Structure formats: C-alpha cells, structure tokens
Structure 1
Amino acid sequence: MSYLREGKIDVLHSFGHFGPDDFRRELAVDALAFLEEKDIHAQVWVNHYGGENRHNMGIMWETQQGDNPQSKAYHCDLTKRYGIKYLWSSNLTDCIGQNGRMDFYNLRTLVYEFLLDLRYRPLRNRNHTNQLMNVVSLDDGTKMFDFVRYPLSYTGHGTGYQWAGDLPAQLSDEVLDKLIANKGYIIYYVHLGANDGPPEYFSKPTKAALKNIADRYHEGVLWVAPTTRILRYHTAHKYLRWRHEIKENGTVSIAIDSTSNSVDGKYLPTPDQLKGITFKLKASKTCTVYLDGKMLAVDIRRNDAPARTTATLTGEWAERR
C-alpha cells in the first residue's frame, strides 16, 4: 500500500485477469471504492493482455468492451470519475524516442509497422505518428490520452512478452544513445518478475544494463521517472499557455495563464503539475515565473556550451521573504 501511495506503483493494470464472461461492473465499483478508501489515486490505466479480458478499454479491438455502455463489462464512466485519464489501449512501437527527432531508423520503423498493421491488424486508433500520446474518443464518448509503449515485440526486440532477460537488448547502449540524440520519450514496459530466480534473480547483463541506465540518469543526460510523471510532464509541456515580457532591468517575467486540452478542458495547473518545465533564455538573462499572480520557485542555471540560461520550475511556490 505504501508503494501505491508514494507513486512507486502508479499504474492501474486493469482490474485483473478474467475469462470472457467473468467480469462484472460491480467488481469495478468495489475495486474503485477500496482504492479511494485507502487514499490511493491513479491516473494511468494499462489494458491486460488477452482478448478474454473484455473490460479492457479502447477502440482498436472488438473485445475491448470496458468503454461500451451496452456491455456488462462497462466501467469507463466509473474509472474516468475515479481519475483515470491516460490509457494504454495496446499501441506499441519500436521507434526510439517518441516526439523526438525523426531519424532514418524511426522513419523506416514507422513505415514497417504501418505495413504490418495494414496486413495483420485493424488501423483504427493506431498511432503511426511517433507521438507519445494522442487524444482518443472511446465508445461512450469519453476522451482520454492514449499513449504508446516501447518495444513492439513482433519487430524483433525481444521474445514477445518482454522479460527481464530482454532488457539488455531493448535498452542497450545503442538504444540509449539514439534516445538521447533524438531527444524523445520512451514509456518502456518489462516484466521484471519474470527473471532468473534466486539467488541472483537478474542476470549479469540485466544488472549491467540497469546500472548503465542509472549512471546516465545521475550524469544528467537521461531522465528516468514513473509512467505518470512522464505523461503529466508531457501534458503540461504540450498544452501550456504562457506569455512573457522583458522588464527594464533585463529580467524576463513569465506568466502562466492556463493549460487547455480536449481531455481536461481549460484549467489552471498546480505547481506540482508544472514540475520540470524549463524555459531557455539568452545567457545574460534571468527570469521570474508567476502562476495566478504568485511567484513559482525556479532553478536558474547558466551554461557555457551553448551559452544560455535555463529556468526550471521546481514544482513549489517561491519562498516568501
């Protein structure tokens, strides 16, 4: 329970693994009531593998009935009210770096995945744009952010189920270098519980790959965060409305007006929702950032190469002096 409250486990991986006729709406009512009673709140829903899980949501497969009001597996209205707004409906890709640079590898991969979908899979709601997420309208009219995960098993990156032993190949030095160069996102999924077992659990290559990821994170060249944190940051970055003016003393004053999108509507974000948002300035500039007339705490850093100043929101209000 503590991991759930702390956000270390931050994804609702459906309501469980059910047979085709086993799920009932009452189960969703009970499950969500339990989570709310325990003060556990999730914003991300991930479908469970298998067409027998009829309570999955999405418009890609006919078996995804969780958003169909005519189905006994319908629960989307309850789940949305609980707080779910990010959905993984089954979109997978082998592109390295969503919303990043479209290099030759990613362009070739997109074309290949499109041809595979054209041959084997329905094209409804397929993400062939290399965007991290798109707004999708579900069968009951509910709108959610439908995000894509990496890797796509049938294009050669692994065994098909993404076990711990696949991690060294899927997040190799080459993949991480390409991700950093492309300046994009990856929502990586893997079943770490499917491992080598005691006493080591993870193989030496898997441990080395995890250490490599940690080293790059601590070097400041790779951001590693829970799924919700990445999706919330991307939402704020993509839909933020702001304006600026330069004061007589040269200070740049930035005013954040709102965030507006078709899932949430128009609203004023909280400081925590803005955490990590960074403004790039000329090297000689400094800045202040305001939200609803109140000053936000900003981490100002000056870089020599290239010569510029960055102002990163810390997710807190500025201290009153």
Structure 2
Amino acid sequence: MCGTVSWSGAYTDDACSSDGVNVALLRANLAHLHKIFAQGKPADSREEHYGTAIQLCTDALRLLKQSKADVDLHNKVKGELALTYLVWAVDVANNTTASSPKTREQEALKVFNKALSLYAELGDKKQVASTHYQIASFYSRMISSTVRESSTTENPDGPSSALTSRMEIARRHYEKALHYFGAVEVGKTFVLIHQELADLHMLGGHVEAIEHALLILLNTYEAFSLAASRDSKLEKEEMTSLARDIVAKVKAVLHQLIRLSSGGRTSGNAAITKSKKLEMFKKMYKEVIYYDGYSAGSIVPILGTLRGMYVVQYREIRF
C-alpha cells in the first residue's frame, strides 16, 4: 500500500548554494534513501533511519516555504513525509503483538495518525484509504493475537467489552478504506478488506456473526466480476489466487455454520428457522465444492449462485 517518490532537478551542497529549492530537493532525496537504508536493519537502526528521514523532509518543507516554491513541489515533499510516517508505522505495527507493552501499540497508532493527517491535508483519497486499511489490519492482528492467547480461558459469553470495542474501531477503519476501494478502485484491495472483515466477524464465535462473515465474503462478487472483464494479466493472476482464498474461506464458514446450526435445542418458530437455515447452508456448501479454481472469472458464477440462494432462502425463512 506504500508507493515511492522520485525526484528530479539540480542538486548542490548547502555550503555552495543559496538555492533553497535545490537544497530542499536534496534533503527529500536523502530522506527517501534513509527509508531504503532502514530495510533489513535491527529495530533501533530502522527507527533512527526513519527519524532522520522525517527530519530531512521537515527541513525540506521549511526551505520550500522560505523559497516560496510552487504548491506542487511543496505537496510532493509533504507526500514523501507522509509516506515515511506510513512506512514507519507499518514497520512498528508488524513488530507489535498483543503481549507487547501498551506503549508500543500507542506508538504505532500515533505514527499512523501522523501519516493520515498529512494525506488528508494533501487530499490524497487513495492514500487516506490505504492508511485506514493499514490501521484496520493492525487492529485486526492485535485482536486475533489476543483471542489466540486467551483461548485457554475461553469466555462462553463471547469477546469481552474491551475486545468488542476494538473490533468496532477496526470495522470503522475498514469502512473508511472502502469509501475509496469500494467505489473508485474495486479490485484486489477490496477483496483483501472483505477477507479481513470476515475474519474479524468470525472471532465473534456465534452464528449471527459467522453468518455475517459469509455475507461479507459473498460481497466480493463485484470485484471478481469486474476483474474478469479487464485485460491485465497480472491482475487476473492476483485475483485468481484471491479467488481460491475466498472460496476456501466460504467453505470453512459454511462448514462452521452447518456445525453450529446442527447443535443445541430449540422449539417453536426458532426451531423451524434453525432447520431451514441448516438446509440452506448445506445446499450452499454442496454448490461451492464444485469450484474448480482455474481462473478469477470462474468464481463469479459460484458467488452469484450462492448470493442468489441466500437471498431466496432468507426470504422464505422470514415470510
């Protein structure tokens, strides 16, 4: 989700030139190099490189302001600063777990918010959405890690209120990401967001939450349908791989819904509804096992069929 920025122009040393614009561009270039130097280094060294890059970009922006440089150049350097914050935030997030000190999580969120604020100032809707997605993914990983670590002391009433609150925060960030990736650029990221959203709902553990996860997965239909009509070979290969993942998740979700709907005792209308839903899930499961996984396009009729089956059966159950 993080891009790169290239710079052009004449570069001279501070001591040899009073040209603030050239010096600013040099500093921006050096900032970009420090992001590259950070890769593969120990944590302390990475943090030092990111800190240096941020200071260089900040100095560059100050010089551009003093030099009354044009807005486009100013925004380009600000974009480099925002990108540095985002790359740093992702780095911190990827090295933070539920057992990490609370300050570590707060640090990651603080750096994410720096990037988010800068991208909002720039009016870069795609990068704003990308940052929301990264924040949501971070929350989801932390939630999943917490659930795994507490699995030995399982709560029969479901997630705690604190965990539920964090799930809601993650969901809101996913929704904000979808303001762009669900309207302007419906493709790979759209599917990834839906996968993670479904996983988040699965953590709820009860039938309603898992059924919601199923619907979220089926909603990837639009992205696969659009991808099937595009000419990009790379995109089709990526979407084919994602299609296999989506179908595997749909099978797993349906299998769990069948298991949960088969257990427990109910009576009256609740028993009738439960029985009808069980039959619906079984029919959907039988349908999805025939998916061949050969291409991204081949998932379209499967998802379309499953969506149609759910709508028809749901109407019958309700009425």
**Same fold per superposition (TM over 0.5):** no
More helix by share: 2
More strand by share: 1
Q: TM-score, normalised by structure 2?
A: 0.26
Which of these two proteins has the greater Rg computed from alpha carbons? Answer: 2
